Amino acid sequence: MRQTLWILCGLAVVTLPVHAAENVGCTTNRDLVLKQAKTNDCPEEEAEAKAITCTSSGMADIKETKRLAALVKLCMAKPKKGAGSGTAAKAETKPAAATEEAGDASGKYQCRGVDKDGKAIAENASDKTSVDCLSELKKQVAEKTCDGSAPDVEFTYQTFTAKHWTKGISVKARCKK
């Protein structure tokens, strides 16, 4: 079915073709899901996307487009195909201090101090603020690493967010005299 949309622009009349049988947003989202299904492990989302035709109109069309957008997000969140077997072997080779898991510290804000080799010196957690976490962490690092040869010790400050430790920033902790 092909319709024509007439638009009056000043004194000129412009005609634009309107394809009522095709919803561009719906087909774009369906194509995204199918593309992601090739690289990510999401067969359920792929099957559901193939079942949606994107030819309805009105509210049904909007619902299909929204459902496909949700399927895109779900499929993108899943791991890549074949990644399940390789990541387990890689995780075993990492030292215990460098794993992506949070330590024993529990609280809303989790932080740790890491030396230049990537080994955790100390971990801390605070329910108040990240600044409280850092200030307590500096005290712990100073107690563990200060030997009196330098006025301060430098370490990498990392926070635990979104299921992984951040890259971190360089921070100094003052040693007591």
Q: pLDDT value at position 46? A: 82
Q: pLDDT value at position 155? A: 92
* Burial class (CB within 10 angstroms; exposed 0-12, middle 13-18, buried 19+) of 24: exposed
Q: pLDDT value at position 32? A: 84
Q: pLDDT value at position 89? A: 37
In this prediction, the residues of the chain whose per-residue pLDDT falls under 50 are: 1-3, 5-11, 14, 16, 18-21, 85-100, 102
Enumerate the domain spans of the chain. 2-77, 97-174
Residues 113, 95, 106, 170, Cα dihedral to 10°: 20
Q: pLDDT value at position 97? A: 42
Provide the token pair at 169: 């920033």
Q: What percent of the chain has pLDDT over 90?
A: 10
Residue 20 contacts residue 3 (beta carbons within 8 Å) = yes
Cα separation, 110 vs 136, in Å, equals 11
The predicted model scores a pTM of: 0.42
Q: pLDDT value at position 83? A: 60
Q: pLDDT value at position 113? A: 92
* Burial class (CB within 10 angstroms; exposed 0-12, middle 13-18, buried 19+) of 148: exposed
Q: pLDDT value at position 38? A: 81
Cα separation, 100 vs 5, in Å, equals 56
